[in-house]
C-alpha cells in the first residue's frame, strides 16, 4: 500500500497543526496537479511527508487540524554578495553565531557546524522545492564569506 522510496514529485513546505495541538514543519508530496489544495482534498487517507531530519513517513489526514503553507524567502546569491560587501548590514560574527573577539578555535568550530547545517549535500536525499535548495546554497555562500572575513 505504501511506497517507502523517496519520491521525486513536487513537494510543498507546510506547517501542520495536529489535532493534539502540536505543530510540525513538513515537506508534503503534492498530487499530480501540484496543488496543495488538491493533495489535501483527494481520496487518499495519508499524506507522504518528510520531516526536518529527512525522515519520510505517512501522516493520517484525519489527525490534521490545520495546514499552513510556508512561504520560503527567495535567496538571491547576487544580493547576498552585495550585502556582504556592505559592512553596515553584513555581520560575519552574527552569521557564524559567535561573539566578536572569539578565539580562532571557536570561530572554526562555529563555521564547521553552520556550514554542515546548510550544506546542499545534506539535502540531496530530500525532495525540496527549488527555493529551499537555493536558500541553502545562498546561506552557504554567506557562511563562507563570513569565515573568510574573520577566520584565521
Structure confidence by residue, pLDDT tens digits, 82-107: 554 555 577 888 889 999 888 999 99
Does this chain's domain 11-69 share its CATH topology with 77-150?
Answer: no
State yes or no: pLDDT of 48 exceeds 70: yes
Mean pLDDT score of the chain: 80
Answer whether residue 38 shows pLDDT above 60: yes
List the chain domain ranges.
Answer: 11-69, 77-150
Query: Would you say 111 and 51 are in contact if contact means Cβ atoms under 8 Å apart?
Result: no
Domain 11-69 indexed as CATH 2.30.110.10: no
Q: Tell me, which fold does domain 77-150 have in CATH?
A: Helix Hairpins (1.10.287)
Min mean pLDDT across 57-61, 95-99, 120-124, 139-143 is at 120-124
pTM (2 d.p.): 0.45
DSSP label at residue 21? S
CB contact at 8 A, 13 and 70: yes
For residue 35 the three cell numbers come to 496543488
pLDDT band at 7 (very low <50, low <70, confident <90, very high): very low
Amino acid at each position: 500500500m505504501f511506497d517507502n522510496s523517496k519520491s521525486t514529485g513536487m513537494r510543498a513546505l507546510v506547517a501542520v497543526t495536529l489535532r493534539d495541538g502540536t505543530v510540525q514543519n513538513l515537506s508534503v508530496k503534492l498530487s499530480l496537479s501540484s496543488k496543495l489544495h488538491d493533495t489535501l482534498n483527494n481520496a487518499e487517507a495519508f499524506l507522504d511527508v518528510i520531516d526536518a531530519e529527512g525522515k519520510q513517513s505517512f501522516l493520517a489526514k484525519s489527525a490534521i487540524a490545520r495546514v499552513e503553507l510556508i512561504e520560503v524567502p527567495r535567496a538571491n546569491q547576487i544580493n547576498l554578495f552585495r550585502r556582504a560587501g556592505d559592512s553596515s548590514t553584513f555581520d560575519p560574527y552574527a552569521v557564524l553565531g559567535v561573539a566578536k573577539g572569539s578565539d580562532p578555535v571557536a570561530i572554526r568550530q562555529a563555521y564547521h557546524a553552520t556550514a554542515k547545517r546548510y550544506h546542499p549535500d545534506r539535502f540531496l536525499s530530500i525532495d525540496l522545492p527549488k527555493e529551499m535548495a537555493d536558500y541553502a546554497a545562498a546561506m552557504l555562500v554567506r557562511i563562507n564569506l563570513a569565515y573568510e572575513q574573520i577566520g584565521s
